[in-house]
Amino acid sequence: MNKKRVAALIRQLLIEIGEDPNREGLRRTPARVAESFEHLTRGYRASIKRTVNKAIFEAEANNMIIARDIEVYSMCEHHILPFFGRCHIGYIPSRKVLGVSKLARLVDHFSRRLQIQERLTAQVARAIVDTIDAQGVGVVMECRHLCMMMRGVEKQQSLMTTSSVLGSFHSDAATRLEFLHLINRQREE
């Protein structure tokens, strides 16, 4: 990403909306926004191989592995406004498991792009299947979208839930129900 060019574009945007980019509070804003966009869109410059970074381990496990409440921060591709929430991932390995932190890193890998939540959910699930040949994967995301909260319908309490189920999570209702029960367990207690 060419940060100088992005900063120049942001400076021009400030002028277009009626601001003075030379006033004290805005002088460094174009450079700050360029830095912010570099961070928020780093998923475009990442690779799954580097994200996983060899944290794939042989295991006899064939039980369900779940990581809940992984924080998600992304940007809506329609309005370039943030959406944020939680991601729950479950998978049944074949012969390999991922290091637990890599599940969160895979969420970040895809969320640090302009996104829609539906695609983001599916990309995380597909990456797990493709990386470790899991028997099944379930991903559920629950997010709040500032494009719905700050503009448009202005609904402050809205929550969007998406899911992607692949392999045995898709074909076996009992597996899918076990996953959903386990990710909702804390809420019930």
Distance, CA of 64 to CA of 172 (rounded, Å) = 13
- Could you tell me if 123 and 163 lie in one domain? yes
- Could you tell me if 169 and 81 lie in one domain? yes
Give burial (CB, 10 Å; 0-12/13-18/19+) of 189. exposed
Distance, CA of 4 to CA of 47 (rounded, Å) = 24
- Could you tell me if 76 and 29 lie in one domain? no
Per the structure, the complete domain to which residue 106 belongs is given by 54-188
Residue 176 — pLDDT band, cuts 50, 70, 90? very high
Distance, CA of 166 to CA of 181 (rounded, Å) = 17
Asked if residues 147 and 83 have their Cβ atoms less than 8 Å apart, the reply is yes
- pLDDT given for residue 186 in this prediction: 65
- Could you tell me if 78 and 35 lie in one domain? no
148, part of any domain = yes
- Could you tell me if 63 and 30 lie in one domain? no
Residue 185 — pLDDT band, cuts 50, 70, 90? confident
How confident is the model over 147-172, as pLDDT tens digits?
A: 999 999 999 999 999 999 999 999 99
- Could you tell me if 88 and 153 lie in one domain? yes
111, part of any domain = yes
Q: Is the pLDDT of residue 184 over 70?
A: yes
Element (H, E) at 152: none
How confident is the model over 46-90, as pLDDT tens digits?
A: 999 999 999 999 988 779 999 999 999 999 999 999 999 999 999
77, part of any domain = yes
Q: Is the pLDDT of residue 189 over 80?
A: no
* pTM of model > 0.85: yes
- Could you tell me if 67 and 16 lie in one domain? no
- Could you tell me if 19 and 106 lie in one domain? no
184, part of any domain = yes
Say how many domains are in the chain.
2
Distance, CA of 109 to CA of 50 (rounded, Å) = 10
DSSP state of 185: H
49, part of any domain = no
- pLDDT given for residue 60 in this prediction: 85
- In terms of Cα–Cα distance, which of 88, 7, 101, 142 is closest to 109? 101
How confident is the model over 88-111, as pLDDT tens digits?
A: 999 999 999 999 999 999 999 999
Quick count: other Cβ atoms within 10 Å of Cβ 169? 28
32, part of any domain = yes
- Could you tell me if 160 and 75 lie in one domain? yes
**Distance from chain centroid for Cα 42:** 12
- Could you tell me if 58 and 35 lie in one domain? no
Tell me the CATH number at 134. Answer: 3.30.1130.10
